[in-house]
Amino acid sequence: MTNTALIPMTHSATLRRLLYEGMQVLGLDPTQIYRQAYQGIALQVGALDTRLVHELAPQFWLALPALSGDADIGLHLGEVMQPRPMDVVGYAQQASSTLREALQVFVRWQHILSGGFAARLLDDEASETACLQIDLDYQGIGSLRQQMECVAQLFSKQLSALTDGEFRLSGLSFRHAAPANLSEHQRLFGLTPQFSQAHDALFFPRALLARPLRSANGPIFALLCAHAEQLLAGLHENQLLNRLRYQIGLRLGREPCDLAACAQALGLPMASLQRSLLQQGRGFRALREEVQRLRSAELLQANTPLREVARACGFTELSPFYRAFRRWYGLPPEQYRLGRGAAADV
């Protein structure tokens, strides 16, 4: 049995390119900001379309307020950044026939943009309001205030551009806690967001979904959608199985970690997730055990106390953890830690 780490999820360089431009407009040196934020971590440089490791993003966004001297830097970046088509998802949205189709394009191929997205469009015919959830998750962190406030502005501006200025927010929710001062939120969004909510989400009049787009182009739309399918199929790290493993890792030892909870976190109906797993010949329990197995080995090698290892792997008692570990590696965890389990990983 090979003890290989889970594949890190990635995100496209689209937001990074817009961030560079926005920081320059605000008089900041983007190269210096990135160097300081990542404190010597070697980042991929070169081509503008180089994909980045999803889990590196929090280090940048958490350091940015202090490095910029601006407690509302996410809002101010969103204010000056100019969203425009820069990838297949953006171009396909522009070629869509209606706003509904443009949003469905984003939801369908969101993982080209980032494997951490758990976005979905909620469209209740009985309601006058539609909702676009734009959740982005990170290990042990959840939602990032500066990032999501910036992203919310970018989405609002992009949807306004697609509809020739007709799009307007009727509500806005964030998962992070409310900051002390909301004057900038009110100025830039034209309303007071709700904080500490279940989702990061944009609310808008449902009637806008049927709004035709002036940039619609059926033949080009079909070509772009076909290309997006090919791109997503090639991003093995952002495909469903790996994103499900990631969600399991987020929840183990912290929150409910069954099929229903993970399906909800991924923005999928439970039956749809189960069907997708069956089509790939995989089972949820087996995937969860895979994450538990890899995590247990990693924590043992880091000399984590056994009770903490068991808890972090989703076990409330040591005895079931011992039984599971013996099944995975053929020896007890103490022997594995001492190095006598090396043969079990080959």
DSSP string, 78-114: HHH------SHHHHHHHT-SBHHHHHHHHHHTHHHHB
Model pLDDT, residue 4: 43
Highest mean pLDDT: which of 203-217, 240-254, 278-292? Answer: 203-217
Higher pLDDT, 40 or 38: 38
Model pLDDT, residue 343: 43
Q: How confident is the model at residue 113 (pLDDT cuts 50, 70, 90)?
A: very high
Higher pLDDT, 5 or 329: 329
- Where do the H-state alpha helices sit in the chain? 14-25, 30-38, 57-68, 73-80, 88-94, 99-108, 110-113, 145-162, 183-189, 218-234, 240-251, 259-266, 270-279, 284-301, 306-312, 318-329, 333-335
Q: How far apart are CA 148 and CA 96, in angstroms?
A: 25
Model pLDDT, residue 346: 37
User: Rounded to 5 degrees, what are φ and ψ at 206?
Assistant: -60, -30
For residue 76, pLDDT beyond 80? yes
300-313 per-position pLDDT tens digit: 998 999 999 999 99
For residue 65, pLDDT beyond 60? yes
Model pLDDT, residue 52: 87
Q: How far apart are CA 293 and CA 109, in angstroms?
A: 31
Q: Based on the number of CB atoms within 10 Å of its own CB, is 343 exposed (0-12), middle (13-18) or buried (19 or more)?
A: exposed
DSSP letter, residue 183: H
Kindly report the average pLDDT of the chain as a whole number.
91
What average pLDDT does the segment 31-35 reach? 91
Angle 91-95-98 from CA coordinates, rounded to 5°? 125
Q: What are the structure tokens assigned to 200, written together?
A: 């990061």
Q: How far apart are CA 67 and CA 77, in angstroms?
A: 14
Q: How confident is the model at residue 42 (pLDDT cuts 50, 70, 90)?
A: low
73-80 and 14-25 helices, crossing angle to 10°: 100
What average pLDDT does the segment 159-168 reach? 97
Percentage of residues in the chain with pLDDT exceeding 70? 94
Q: How far apart are CA 92 and CA 220, in angstroms?
A: 8
Model pLDDT, residue 345: 46
CA trace torsion 175, 185, 189, 64 (10° rounding): -70
Tell the CATH superfamily of the 239-346 domain: Homeodomain-like (1.10.10.60)
Model pLDDT, residue 236: 86
262-285 per-position pLDDT tens digit: 998 887 889 999 999 999 899 999
Q: How confident is the model at residue 342 (pLDDT cuts 50, 70, 90)?
A: very low
Q: Parse the chain into domains and list their residue ranges.
A: 10-210, 239-346
Model pLDDT, residue 144: 95
Model pLDDT, residue 239: 87
Q: What is the CATH number of domain 10-210?
A: 3.90.1520
Model pLDDT, residue 112: 94
114-135 per-position pLDDT tens digit: 999 989 999 988 899 999 999 9
pTM of the model: 0.82
Q: How confident is the model at residue 51 (pLDDT cuts 50, 70, 90)?
A: confident
